[in-house]
A = this chain, B = another copy of it.
């Protein structure tokens, strides 16, 4: 497709950098012999002839005098020095890529959500600067030298750990997704929000480093006969508390201080948060200050009243904390626009709180036909998996869907299948197949297809 004749709606610009490229080659490539340079000059002319006229390049091709070409500043000047940004930031051209709040979603924005811009991300690692946020009483930048973690309850010896204490202990590094239990909540009620950032953006994935909770529980001598649950508690004003079963606590839960190679960000729990792989984000208690070992679920407000699933019969399900198998196409997705017909790479994310992703199928006709997508490595348990699949758009309306299957054999449900069991009053745990409609204009929008 590239380098072909310009198409309506997709005019090929004057390729200024190509011009630089050729000139710079003449100037700097000392190793090239005359024969090769001559060959390149010819190919340069041939390429130029295929370009739109009226450009500097075309003038040069016609006149044959490269000296009249204007090189861009970045190919002729000394650039910025190393370490000029001791901590680097994205390009000035990427300023629109931000986590964003959905205005009016909550009464105060200290107890609100900001969404990760999934539509413009790649691979599985979420840049820490774009990790979604969900606070219950805002975030703080806590001094790590003052922070403590207490382990108490049904233990032989309760202990208080400094950050130095914790960071000397055996550590693990693992990649896991974190998803808010309320992610995709608006889709329950047919409110088709305008982009994947708002429909699925309470989802991030990082490499976490910390000490396994099991090491701390052993260090304090938890009571193997009576211990059945632990309570995790945060140090922010909301005093967030969540119950976790002792089996899970001893399995893969991490008391983490690092995310994506560096210390946690303040808004993600610096200096210490719990990582509870596969479980909804609220259990990943931020600014973690205490682990209590007990013999029964704690039924704190944050789990007894909040984060519960409204069922069709008027009852509520509690402690439904595992994030079931789910996937979503991130490009093309609602709010984007296909510029012309032809080849596209359809890409998205799949994940399961039960283990690894086994397969992702993609439909471009609203679920009538499915093809199996390519899964990128690494393919890790309770971690995002990136999928890609080829698609040639013929210009006709299309409905794009992804359907994930995890290693337990669980198949991501359609929205009507999920509603048949769960009704429409729920907020939490919507893992239905998402539909994006491509109009003949190329506009992509959020639709519900049954």
Contacts and interface: CB of A to CB of B under 8 A. Distances in A.
B121 A262 contact: yes
Contacts of A380: 377-378
Task: Indicate the size class of the contact surface on chain A.
Answer: 35 or more
Interface string A257-301: 110111111111011000000000000000101101010001111
A94 B219 contact: no
Nearest to A270: B91
B72 A86 contact: no
Contacts of A343: 168-169
Contacts of A78: 108, 110, 137-138, 237
Contacts of A287: 74
A440 interface: no
A143 B93 CA distance: 7
A27 B300 CA distance: 12
A205 to B, nearest CB: 8
Contacts of A326: none
A3 B157 contact: yes
A417 interface: no
Interface string A199-235: 0000000111100000000010000000000000101
Interface stretch (A145-153, A361-369, A442-450): A145-153
Contact of A262 (B21, B122, B174, B345): B122
Nearest first, the 6 closest Cβ-Cβ pairs linking A and B are A79-B138, A3-B159, A28-B239, A123-B173, A122-B258, A378-B378
Given A2-B165, A47-B158, A82-B114, 19 more contacts: A2-B219, A15-B160, A21-B235, A29-B298, A31-B303, A32-B300, A43-B153, A80-B110, A81-B108, A87-B89, A90-B263, A120-B262, A122-B171, A122-B261, A123-B261, A167-B345, A168-B343, A171-B347, A172-B376
